[in-house]
Amino acid sequence: MKYLKRYNLIDFDFALVAMVIFLTTIGILAIGSADPGSQSKQIFGMVLGIGTMFFLSVLDYHWFIRFYIPMYIVNIVLLGLVLSPLGTNVNGAQRWISLLGIRFQPSESAKILLILFFSQFIMKYKDKVKNLGFIIVCLAILALPLGLIALQPDLSTCIMVMIIFASIIFMAGIDWRIVVAVLGTAIPAALFVIYNAINGESNLLHDYQQRRILAWLHPEDFANSEAYQTLNSMMAIGSGQLYGKGYNTNEISSVLNGGFISESQTDFIFTVIGEEFGFVGSCLVVALIMLISIRCFMISSRTRDKAGEVIAAGVGGWIGFQGFLNIGVATGVMPNTGIPLPFVSYGLTSLLSIYAAIGFVLNVRLSSTN
């Protein structure tokens, strides 16, 4: 079969698999403490994710990415359905599709589908990567799915998709002059958006986005509204001290048990880890996120073709930067963005998508050593 190849078991990256499973196990423990009813679903997602990961790790990615155009179309259709009557609105955001009783978040699967699309697209036109015109074409292709995600609205995922795209283009060999020009434009633009949010009504952001920026800069003024979650999260993490209060603690002083952290099983799962496992447990999670991301970038640097390089780099950027954003929110370093912690936060779409991504990275590693 064309889509299967013979690989040497000795070349399989068991270290990467072990880190991924260990990190997911920590997440399952934390979810069990935050929301016991969701733990069994996350365990099911982990089992399904591991199966998907191993299947994709032996499926030749060169065969798979030949269907890059259908993948792009499927991605657009799924994101479009979110805005249709099939879309489900939760807490003012329409980011899910409900089909046959199953709720699915297309913006999460969009990350891996876009990585696979650009891996083939860049490999096909790899001689043009250094041209500004090619970058503009890539941005034009990215604009449609990015726009559909923005309409949900989901600014945090838009930022993540742009970061993933930046990782892909950088590793693909973009001209340094373009990098300097983009940074020279993006940094002042970001500062202008923040300045605009601080000074009166912003024409660039939704009201809730503006309030989140203001709450990040002046949390004391929003202690009972937008900054409520973050302030309580920081308090909980700090209260864990060195070794934490213990798993599933019943201490009266627990911020989590007091009901002061909502969505603790998803966006603020790092808060649970900080309070119950302390500084040591928090550092372990941070280290695992970093090591998995670095491992992906190492695999990217050792591949034999541009497609494999793009896949591994895109996944590495996804895990590393999304982990940084989530932990940054929980610790008050970043404005509240509402983005899951990779492998740790509750959410089957997110978990399956990122396990599939690791499956492709493993296959890239096997292909580069074969």
What does the DSSP 8-state code read for residue 173? T
pLDDT digits over 177-232, tens only? 776 776 677 777 777 666 666 666 666 666 666 767 766 666 666 666 666 777 87
Buried b (16+ CB within 10 A) or exposed e, 55-85: ebbbbbbbebbeebeebbeebbebbbbbeee
User: Residue 333: which pLDDT band, with cuts at 50, 70 and 90?
Assistant: confident
The pLDDT value given to residue 93: 66
Mean pLDDT score of the chain = 83
The pLDDT value given to residue 111: 93
The pLDDT value given to residue 118: 93
Instruction: Kindly report which listed range (83-92, 255-264, 307-316) carries the lowest average pLDDT score.
Output: 255-264
pLDDT higher than threshold 80 for residue 102: no
pLDDT higher than threshold 60 for residue 2: no
The pLDDT value given to residue 22: 96
- CA-based max dimension of the chain: 63
The pLDDT value given to residue 250: 66
Question: What pTM did the predictor assign?
Answer: 0.88
pLDDT higher than threshold 70 for residue 65: yes
pLDDT higher than threshold 70 for residue 370: no
Decide if 167 contacts 317 (C-beta within 8 A). Answer: yes
Closest CA to 236 of 277, 207, 175, 191: 277
pLDDT higher than threshold 80 for residue 364: yes
Of 33-47, 190-204, 254-268, which has the strongest mean pLDDT? Answer: 33-47
pLDDT digits over 293-313, tens only? 999 999 998 888 888 999 999
